[in-house]
Structure 1
Amino acid sequence: MRDSRSRATKRMVAVLAVIAILAGCPGMVAAQATPIPGPPGTLDAIDEYVLYDPVLRPYRQAVIDQTAGAISHYAIDATVELATGTTPSRITGSVALAFVNGGDEPVEAVYFRLYANDPRYAEGAMLMREVTVGGRPVEPVLSQADTVAEVALPAPLGPGERIDIDYLFRTAVPTAPEQSYGLFSYQPEGGTLVLAHWLPLLAGRGADSDWNLEAPSTFGDVIFSNIALFEANITAPDDLVLVSTGTAVVEASEDGTSRHRIVTGPVRDLTMVLDDDYEVATIEVDGTLVQSFYNPEHARGGELVLDYGARSLALYNDLFGPYPYEEMDLVDLTVRNGAAGVEFPQLMFIGGSYYDQERDAPDDPPTFLETIVVHEVAHQWFFGLVGNDQYQDAFIDEGLANYMSTEVYYAAAYDTEVAAAERARQLERPYLDRLFGPGDVIVDQPTDAFASDGAYVVAVYGKAALGFHAIREEIGEEAFIAGLARYTAAYRFDVATPADLLAAFEAASDQRLDELWRHWFEAAEGTDDYGPEDLEAIRNA
């Protein structure tokens, strides 16, 4: 295992080289311990690296240099069938996976997540069968209530080495399950099939290369995964609009079905949404096609979502470095159980119940719909480009996204007074209610170690964002943004840790921030910063 503090220091030394790659300068090809030729259909046999076509041309070669041959590659062929009567919606298909060991040590088994088997998905289910490894049959061993599948390898696979794993799968999609966020479901009220984690996916591996095989998270994001390439042929009813991670093109239509060809570039997973009456509004931002898909009754909200998405994309491009993909999609659908939006690579779910929110006058405060959109767009950097293990360190991506979507975005889009008001309303008020009610809570702890969902939300979304505000106040605006840009450049397409983010802020500011970091993220000392009078003032504002 690697020492995360040492790792952070080494990565910061390399930041200038990575920034040069982002600017289009020649980069270094990611090293493999034992390079071996790929089988037909992998990068070795594809002209012009077509799997990278969804990456914007100015950044494509740098991304190829960084990832080609160093990340796994899924080739998927699947058919989608909608629910009929008592039969749930189904997906059946095959996967040819070229698995690359991206860790530092040999592995003797590969692990997959079958999230659809989580009991919260009711009649949802996933079966992985006819598995072969290097052409030899292997029987998967299930654990964690059948949400983890272990596939043994014939021999240890060294760092950078690759092996073929082929399998068939069958997935049943639940209809409006009550105990989930709705991110894997058929929603009959909207005619929408929502397909996150719809196939067996490689389990996520942390910065220490260990597999995360925990039970699906109770409070936080379910999916933790690493960067891979996805290509898919999806056959679906031809009266459905398909929206997905990456770029999707209809290649053929016959017998009431359409075949969609999807290519993603390097991303953490492939998510899809199919709907019977989506309309779309589009705009281009810095070469990226931003698309807002909405139900017809939400036309005005769909236009507003497009505007918020475009404005936040432009801002974050300037602050943190470029969003490198050709498309970014925002999708109107039903989310449940306290969620207002959910992020996926290049694709964001926006809760349809908020689409009727609009400011009536210029002096009105921003709507929560705007906050949802710009929060999810921020996740395209903090989760999408730079990963973290949400089961262990959820405050990194959620706290950063929430701070970006209140203080930083609103200061740029409106003014500093609006930003301060939103910080008080969205961050300080919930945290102070907790602080002077049930009591303070430590931010940096595993997601399911929190005492309740309420404690998790206040800590990870509220107090964590206030901690980043304290760092910004301490080191100044310029160093704070520079630190985030360094962090993004150093850990792009990787998995980062809290120590990595702290080191980025310290390098950008030339200050030691250990004590400030401990105070906000590792301790319950909120009464050092606030008194009951602060809560009363916010309540009366």
Structure 2
Amino acid sequence: MSPLGTFLPAPWSHPAGRRLFVVLLVLLLAVGTPAGVSGAAAGGGGSAATPDRARYDVDLRSDADGGRWTGRQRVSFRNASERPLREVYLRLWGNGEDGCGTPGTPGAPGVPSPVVVSGLRGGTADPLTVNCTALRIALPKPLARGERASVAFDVSVTVPDRNARFGREGAFRFLGNALPVLAVHDAAGWHLDPYVAVGESFYALAGDFRVRLDHPSGMAVPATGRNRTRPGAPGRSVTLSLAERVRDFAWAAGPFRTAAQTTPGGVRVKSFWAPGTPAAGVRLARAEAVAAVDRFGREFGRYPYGEVDLVMTSGFGGGMEYPGLVLLGTTEEGNAVVHELAHQWWYGIVGNDQYASPWLDESFAQYANFRFYGLETRDCWSDVYWPDDGAELTASMDYWSRHRGEYHLVYTAGPCALADLERTLGADAMARLLERYARDHWYGVSTTEDFKRAAQSMTDEDLGPFWESHRIR
């Protein structure tokens, strides 16, 4: 994610840096964190991450302007743990900012949550918790290791009236984190962390999505996965999306202008932009996207999804990444497309718990961004200020939510630390490290300890002092 930012001194004054929001991140928007359960909500103990191998089958129909989508969703899954699985949780992240809605009063009807689940089959639902973002579903019988089960439900999605990753800008709708997805249970228990508006709380295992979106024919619908649109009922079209081994599904809707091109490496880059988006910025973003997808494919492993969609408007704040789709605020100088595309690897393919370890995706994506533009990093520490001796680069969103003015360190100190590691190991060894690390965690979940062990394997030098001095703990 690339929130709004302001200009910084060197290396941020590099000409390439001036063109992009992503190189200029320092002061984040002041937002609150909803109350809820933080960390593991139930005891664990040595269990594998579960439920896994999820398949999401979704059929939604939009209203006339794409502001409301209703339909049915089915989720099938496997128990990967040795322990019987007696329950699952759905995360309704779309309720993160609005919570449980507003209750009705005499003469004034209430406003429900943006995402409403009803008509559940395949289990018994408890009341929503964690500010209406977590739905516990008790299964009819314990699911043994290797067994599969499924739940199905009606879902209603109403796009909030705000310009955000789940929101709207004029005639354009952004549906990031709108679909309910399975929570993760591992050795720490169920991960039911609260939603954060700056940064991410998301943690999901890779799964498959088959999504059918029925919408007015005058509406373009970029979406995660490989997409094709065909005629539907009179005046309507159906966009079919197939996405395999992804952690989430997002889409947008509106009267976008469109263009497409294929990179030399064979990736289809489809661009969608709102009228009024600066043409120079759109052209630059398209060119940089083509170059970045192929370059990161060479450095970290070939992009596996075949297609990536760029959604560009003039008013969106910064950028936001989803598998196969990125949302981009765009000026004449471009946008954060390189950083957001780096996220296709760092969190999208090489997963992590974004609430517990945001540096593992944001710092790695920003480091890839630095490398793409050839930014000088030897003096980047001059712009890093640690507020106290206890601050850590590896802190969780629980810490950053309570110290919002320091969250920029994930984007500034993080890539500086990785650049220092490159100088410590050598450029060739660092390149091998990242390629191997991505390969070893392809479609999996990585941790800070995993990365530290992988880096240590590249050198005989004890990296303990390096981790401590760079606050990677």
Asked whether the 8 Å contact 1:131–1:139 carries over to 2, the reply is yes
Partner of 2:214: 235
Match status 1:111 vs 2:111:
no
Displacement of 1:218 after TM fit?
Answer: 4.6
Partner of 1:405: 369
Match status 1:150 vs 2:100:
no
Asked whether the 8 Å contact 1:294–1:302 carries over to 2, the reply is yes
Q: What SS is found at the alignment partner of 2:451?
A: helix
CA distance in 1, matches of 2:284, 2:378: 22
Displacement of 1:446 after TM fit?
Answer: 1.2
Partner of 1:186: 168
CA distance in 2, matches of 1:326, 1:187: 28
Match status 1:470 vs 2:448:
no
Asked whether the 8 Å contact 1:335–1:341 carries over to 2, the reply is no
Q: 1:510 to 1:313 in 2, by over 3 A?
A: farther
Q: How big is each residue's C-alpha offset from its partner over 1:308-355, in whole Å with a ceiling of 9 and x where there is no partner?
A: 11111222111111111211122103665xx51111101111113x2x
Query: Residue 323 of structure 2: which of 345, 363, 380 is its match?
Result: 345
Asked whether the 8 Å contact 2:363–2:414 carries over to 1, the reply is yes
Displacement of 1:113 after TM fit?
Answer: 0.8
Q: How big is each residue's C-alpha offset from its partner over 1:276-317, in whole Å with a ceiling of 9 and x where there is no partner?
A: 132224232311112222234333322211111111122211
CA distance in 2, matches of 1:348, 1:288: 15
Asked whether the 8 Å contact 1:279–1:295 carries over to 2, the reply is no
Query: Residue 507 of structure 1: which of 454, 457, 460 is its match?
Result: 457
CA distance in 1, matches of 2:314, 2:115: 23
Match status 1:126 vs 2:115:
yes
Q: Say which is worse superposed, 300-309 or 142-151, in terms of deviation.
A: 300-309
Query: Residue 519 of structure 1: which of 463, 469, 472 is its match?
Result: 469
Structure 2 residue identity aligned to 1:379: H
Structure 2 residue identity aligned to 1:457: H
Query: Residue 452 of structure 1: which of 403, 415, 436 is its match?
Result: 403
Query: Residue 312 of structure 1: which of 292, 309, 316 is its match?
Result: 292
Partner of 1:245: 224
Q: What SS is found at the alignment partner of 1:145?
A: coil
Pairing 1:284-433 to 2, within 5 Å after superposition? 284-297=263-276, 298-333=278-313, 339-352=317-330, 354=331, 356-357=332-333, 369=334, 372-406=336-370, 408-411=371-374, 419-420=375-376, 424=379, 427-428=380-381, 430-431=383-384
Flag the structure with higher helix content: 1
Asked whether the 8 Å contact 1:331–1:349 carries over to 2, the reply is yes
CA distance in 1, matches of 2:441, 2:260: 33
Query: Residue 183 of structure 2: which of 192, 203, 206 is its match?
Result: 203
Partner of 1:489: 439
Q: Say which is worse superposed, 388-397 or 219-228, in terms of deviation.
A: 219-228
Unaligned runs of 5+ residues in structure 1 are: 1-68, 358-368, 412-418, 524-541
Q: How big is each residue's C-alpha offset from its partner over 1:444-489, in whole Å with a ceiling of 9 and x where there is no partner?
A: 111121342220122x111111111121111111111111111111
Partner of 2:124: 138
CA distance in 1, matches of 2:437, 2:301: 10
Unaligned runs of 5+ residues in structure 2 are: 1-50, 102-110
Q: How big is each residue's C-alpha offset from its partner over 1:163-209, in whole Å with a ceiling of 9 and x where there is no partner?
A: 021111112211226xxxx0001221xx2110012222112456x47
CA distance in 2, matches of 1:497, 1:291: 32
Partner of 2:242: 263
Structure 2 residue identity aligned to 1:113: R
Partner of 1:81: 63
Q: What SS is found at the alignment partner of 1:105?
A: coil
Q: Say which is worse superposed, 476-485 or 289-298, in terms of deviation.
A: 289-298
Q: Say which is worse superposed, 157-166 or 278-287, in terms of deviation.
A: 278-287
CA distance in 2, matches of 1:106, 1:507: 36
Aligned-residue Cα RMSD (Å) equals 2.4
Q: TM-score of the superposition, structure 2-length normalised?
A: 0.81
Q: 1:282 to 1:194 in 2, by over 3 A?
A: same
CA distance in 1, matches of 2:448, 2:82: 20
Q: What SS is found at the alignment partner of 1:168?
A: strand
Asked whether the 8 Å contact 1:480–1:509 carries over to 2, the reply is no
CA distance in 2, matches of 1:75, 1:340: 31
Asked whether the 8 Å contact 1:217–1:448 carries over to 2, the reply is no
Q: How big is each residue's C-alpha offset from its partner over 1:58-88, in whole Å with a ceiling of 9 and x where there is no partner?
A: xxxxxxxxxxx961101111111245xxxx9
CA distance in 2, matches of 1:507, 1:522: 17
Displacement of 1:247 after TM fit?
Answer: 1.3
Asked whether the 8 Å contact 2:56–2:76 carries over to 1, the reply is yes
Asked whether the 8 Å contact 1:394–1:447 carries over to 2, the reply is yes
Q: 1:104 to 1:286 in 2, by over 3 A?
A: farther
CA distance in 1, matches of 2:325, 2:81: 28
Q: What SS is found at the alignment partner of 2:232?
A: strand
Asked whether the 8 Å contact 1:479–1:505 carries over to 2, the reply is no
Displacement of 1:157 after TM fit?
Answer: 1.8
Asked whether the 8 Å contact 1:126–1:172 carries over to 2, the reply is yes
CA distance in 1, matches of 2:315, 2:136: 31
Q: 1:116 to 1:476 in 2, by over 3 A?
A: same
Displacement of 1:251 after TM fit?
Answer: 2.8
Partner of 2:12: none
Q: 1:198 to 1:70 in 2, by over 3 A?
A: closer
CA distance in 1, matches of 2:337, 2:252: 17
Partner of 1:160: 146
Asked whether the 8 Å contact 2:167–2:175 carries over to 1, the reply is yes
Give the structure, 1 or 2, with the largest relative contact order (CA under 8 Å, sep 6 or more). Answer: 2
Displacement of 1:269 after TM fit?
Answer: 0.9
CA distance in 2, matches of 1:423, 1:241: 44
Q: TM-score of the superposition, structure 1-length normalised?
A: 0.71
